Structure 1
Amino acid sequence: MSEICYQIEPNLTVEEFKEVLIKSTLGERRPIDDENILLKMLAGAQLIYTARHNQTLVGVARSISDGAYCTYLSDLAVDEEFQHRGIGKELIRLSKLAFPTANLILLSAPKAVDYYPKIGMTRHEHAFMLKNTDDLI
């Protein structure tokens, strides 16, 4: 098997991004049918690391950071055919190294919740999410 090539790709295409989301199952929780939103997701990221096998995108890590205190890893997707090979872990490592003083934070997909502690990440019990302002009381 050929080597996996990791690189920063700020100009990743919507088509490739969408395809790897679907192949990773992360597409189940992302707006893959709305290319305008996917385009905004890519444009708003400060860091997009990719993993490629023979030029084909097999993994992506998309992050937003203040560069000093916190980096939010908003998407980590690895094609199911390439999982269990350390690709996700390497994308996380590279994302952390890009902003070394910042804490790397993510919200786990339900299927991946047991993965992150296995690679050395600390579970945080005090995370909250708000999807709609109407939910505020």
Structure 2
Amino acid sequence: MNIEYKINASVSAEQFIELLRQSTLGARRPIDDRECMEGMVKNSNLMVSAWDGEKLIGISRSMTDFHYACYLSDLAIDEKYQNSGVGKKLLVYTQEQLGSKCKLILIAAPVANSYYEHIGFTNNQRCWVLEREQCISK
């Protein structure tokens, strides 16, 4: 297997959607909302991608200031390539783009908790989420 890793390579919404379908993230992402998916790809400021030839087989998609915090929104690996080290390499290449004090922050699916703990992440109970349909009163 000759996987090529790229930093901020062009990824189309179609390629991203297909990868999400082939990974375990497709069920938890709005893959039927093309405008949203295009915005997710277009507005990420750090994407590390894994390619098997012309096929996108993995992605680490983040938003970051590169110095203090990097929010890893998606770590998706085609199921055919899972358990082969692709995810770990995507995280290594992501960290290499960040400053020495920059934290990598993510929200994991429950089934992925043991993976992140295994590779060195620590669990933080202080995460809060406000869904868009919820309103904060003025």
Tell me which interval the TM-score lies in, with the shorter structure as reference length.
Answer: over 0.9
2:110 maps to which residue? 110
**Distance of 1:114 and 1:65 partners within structure 2:** 25
Q: How many residues align?
A: 136
RMSD (Å) for aligned C-alpha atoms: 1.5
Could you tell me the TM-score, scaled by structure 1's length? 0.92
**Distance of 2:15 and 2:133 partners within structure 1:** 32
Cα deviation, 1:34-61, whole Å, max 9, x if unaligned, reads: 1110000011100111111122111011
Percent identity between the two aligned chains: 38
CA shift, 1:135, in A, is 5.9
Could you tell me the TM-score, scaled by structure 2's length? 0.92
**Distance of 1:38 and 1:72 partners within structure 2:** 17
SS for the counterpart of 1:113 is helix
2:10 maps to which residue? 11
**Distance of 1:50 and 1:134 partners within structure 2:** 33
**Distance of 1:85 and 1:9 partners within structure 2:** 22
**Distance of 1:104 and 1:124 partners within structure 2:** 12
**Distance of 2:113 and 2:18 partners within structure 1:** 22
The gaps in structure 2 that reach 5 residues or longer are: none
The gaps in structure 1 that reach 5 residues or longer are: none
**Distance of 1:38 and 1:70 partners within structure 2:** 23
